[in-house]
Amino acid sequence: MLAKQGWGGACGGSSHARYLLPRALHKIRFPPSFPGDMTRVLVIDDSDDFRKLALRWFQSCGIEVEGAADGVQGLALQRARPADVIVTDIFMPEKEGIETIHELRREFPGVKIIAVTGYEPLRNYDVFEVARQAGAAKTFMKPFKFEDLVAAVRELMRG
């Protein structure tokens, strides 16, 4: 069964329609005329639910995306298949987000980084300011609208 999905709205772009097969979105190759086709995103987050939802959301918007469960895996993926934009959680096991951002900035100075977290900032410690100083271009507090994250990715790719 095919599901018709409009191209406008949350993903931006024109109002052209596309058809998706349920559970087969990851197998679809979008032609170059689709917005976002040239953008590759890496999502680094230890929350399986958040990571899987973000992957599906970016895919549904025609953006190539991969996911990693922590900073160690994220850095390995970035070295193997570099992304244009990286969305990373700040608090993770193995290699936390600030350390990951530092390493990404050192190895991939041109990559755009978005830092996210669901933890409330400490009273005298602005974790988002630390993330920006480490090299994050944008920050988001979970929960947020995925439309806003997609818009941030597109904004970073424009300029």
Q: Are 44 and 89 spatial neighbours (Cβ–Cβ below 8 Å)? A: yes
pLDDT on residue 46: 96
By C-alpha distance, which of 116, 88, 118, 91 is closest to 104? 88
Q: How confident is the model at residue 119 (pLDDT cuts 50, 70, 90)?
A: confident
Asked if residue 10 is part of any domain, the answer here is no
Peptide bond into 143 cis (omega under 30): yes
Tell me if 7 is assigned to some domain: no
Q: What is the pLDDT of residues 26-72, one digit of tens each?
A: 444 443 334 444 789 999 999 999 999 999 999 999 999 999 999 99
22 pLDDT more than 90: no
How buried is 72 (Cβ within 10 angstroms: 0-12 exposed, 13-18 middle, 19+ buried)?
Answer: middle
Q: When comparing pLDDT for 112 and 16, which is higher?
A: 112
92-96, 100-104, 153-157: the lowest-pLDDT one: 92-96
* Assigned domain for 26 exists: no
For 8-18, b where at least 16 C-beta lie within 10 A, e where not — what string? eeebeeeeeee
- For residue 82 the two structure tokens come to 């570099």
Nearest to 139 by CA among 124, 156, 158, 122: 156
| Residues whose CB falls within 8 Å of the CB of residue 102, separated by 6 or more in sequence, listed in order | 134, 135
The answer to the question of residue 50 being in a domain is yes
Give the CATH number of the domain where residue 74 resides.
3.40.50.2300
- Domain for residue 18, yes or no? no
Domains contained in the chain, number: 1
The parent domain of residue 134 ranges over: 32-158
Question: What's the average model confidence in pLDDT over 100-122?
Answer: 92
pLDDT of residue 30: 40
Determine, yes or no, domain membership for 4: no
pLDDT of residue 93: 87
Q: Does residue 78 lie in a domain region?
A: yes
pLDDT band at 94 (very low <50, low <70, confident <90, very high): confident
Residue 16 placed within a domain: no
How high is the mean pLDDT of the chain? 82
